């Protein structure tokens, strides 16, 4: 039976790590988590989930995935979280979600990547990005060896007691994410290409009279904003003037899971 790595990514950081980790492990299928969240989810003895840290924890879509995924055949489940800042309680929460299904998170790793949430900060310059990519590659060598060896008990969360503080912040913020898309605006320079709707992993954008309309089940992945070819999309005033970011090895079509 093949291994499976499920990935969730808006701008490519997590997809990059998932792709490279799958190559290192061998005999591993890569599946976009967003493409099967409402469909039959395959299972494997070794299952991985690669995703970004959102509000010091896993994205909401990861929670929905774990609630539905078939876990009875999984003998080793791991998570890899990409982060622009701190891990918070990302693996602790993932452990809890799996435990509620009677499953165990065998190990969870956190890897620093270029920040891609422009609401809070701009991405680092290209030279710093290159250093982060290089370091991430070395970490993937270690992680692949640990997975192949069946190593357990590694959970790279922020240390206590700071993790408790981040957990409190998360509880007050994460439930607001779906409707936070009310802050998105579209400028007059919009070319009506509908790319924003195509790259949205959860089909949260419909096109009305050529313009995007957000439908309030947003993951806050920022794919729509980051991939807009003319930077017509802003998130309130927080992103005005900030450079956009996506992983340099990918193009927008790599994220167009839907063509509507």
Domain stop point among 155, 173, 191: 173
Split at pLDDT 50, 70, 90, the class of 15 is very high
- Give the residue-averaged pLDDT of 181-202: 96
Question: Quick check: 246 and 194 in contact, CB under 8 A?
Answer: no
Please tell me whether residues 16 and 115 are part of one structural domain: yes
Q: Note the pTM of the prediction, 2 decimals.
A: 0.95
Within 10 A of 240 (CB to CB), how many other CB atoms are there?
12
Q: Are residues 75 and 189 in the same domain?
A: no
Assigned domain for 260 exists: no
In a domain, 100, yes or no: yes
pLDDT for 259 equals: 43
pLDDT over 60 (residue 60): yes
Tell me what pLDDT residue 42 has.
93
Contact call for residues 156 and 108 (beta carbons, < 8 A): yes
Q: What is the per-residue pLDDT for 258?
A: 52
| Mean pLDDT for the stretch of residues 213-226 | 97
- The strand pair at 205-208 and 184-186 is best described as unpaired
* Ranges 67-71, 85-89, 118-122, 164-168: which has the least confidence: 164-168
Report CA Rg, the chain.
18
If we measure between CA atoms, which residue out of 156, 229, 217 comes closest to residue 187? 229
Give the 3-state DSSP-derived string for 90-158, with helices as H, strands as E and coil as C. HHHHHHHHHHCCCCCCCEEEEEECCCCCCCCCCCCCHHHHHHHHHHHHHHHHHHHHHHHCCCCCEECCC
In this prediction, residue 256 carries a pLDDT of 87
> Is 155 in the same domain as 182?
no
- Per-residue model confidence (pLDDT) at position 260: 38
17 and 62 co-located in one domain:
yes
- pLDDT tens-digit series, residues 174-188: 999 999 999 999 999
**pLDDT confidence bin for 160, thresholds 50/70/90:** confident
Number of domains making up the chain: 2
Whether pLDDT at 228 is above 50: yes
Q: What is the token pair recorded at 241?
A: 């003037």
Q: What is the mean pLDDT of the chain?
A: 95
Q: Which domain holds residue 232?
A: 176-255
- Does one domain contain both 242 and 231? yes
Do 19 and 69 have their domain in common?
yes
Q: Is the pLDDT of residue 153 over 50?
A: yes
126, 182: one domain: no
Of the three residues 117, 151, 173, the one that is the final residue of a domain is 173
The fraction of the chain above a pLDDT of 70, given in percent, is: 98
For residue 128, with 0-12 CB atoms within 10 Å meaning exposed, 13-18 middle and 19 or more buried, which class applies? Answer: exposed
Instruction: Looking at the structure, tell me whether residues 58 and 80 fall in a common domain.
Output: yes
Separation CA 9–CA 12 (nearest Å): 6
Average of per-residue pLDDT across 27-35: 96
* Structure confidence at residue 172 (pLDDT): 84
């Amino acid at each position: 039976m093949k291994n499976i790595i499920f990935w969730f990514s808006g701008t490519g950081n997590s997809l990059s790590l998932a792709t490279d980790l799958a190559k290192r492990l061998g005999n591993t299928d890569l599946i976009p988590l967003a493409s099967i969240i409402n469909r039959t989810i395959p299972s494997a003895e070794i299952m991985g989930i690669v995703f970004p840290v959102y509000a010091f924890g896993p994205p909401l879509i990861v929670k929905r995935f774990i609630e539905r995924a078939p876990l009875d055949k999984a003998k080793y489940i791991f998570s890899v979280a990409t982060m622009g800042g701190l891990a918070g309680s990302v693996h602790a929460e993932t452990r809890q979600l799996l435990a509620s299904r009677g499953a165990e998170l065998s190990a969870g790793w956190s890897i620093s990547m270029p920040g891609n949430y422009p609401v809070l900060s701009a991405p680092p310059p290209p030279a710093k990005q290159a250093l982060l990519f290089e370091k991430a590659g070395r970490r993937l060598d270690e992680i692949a060896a640990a997975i192949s060896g069946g190593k357990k008990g590694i959970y790279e969360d922020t240390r206590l007691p700071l993790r408790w503080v981040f957990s409190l912040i998360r509880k007050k913020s994460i439930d607001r994410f779906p409707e936070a898309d009310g802050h998105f605006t579209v400028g007059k320079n919009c070319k009506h290409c509908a790319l924003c709707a195509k790259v949205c992993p959860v089909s949260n954008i419909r096109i009305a009279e050529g313009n995007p309309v957000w439908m309030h089940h947003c993951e806050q992945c920022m794919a729509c904003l980051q991939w807009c070819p003319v930077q017509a999309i802003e998130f309130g005033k927080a992103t005005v003037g900030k450079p956009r970011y996506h992983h340099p090895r990918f193009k927008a079509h790599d994220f167009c899971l839907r063509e509507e």
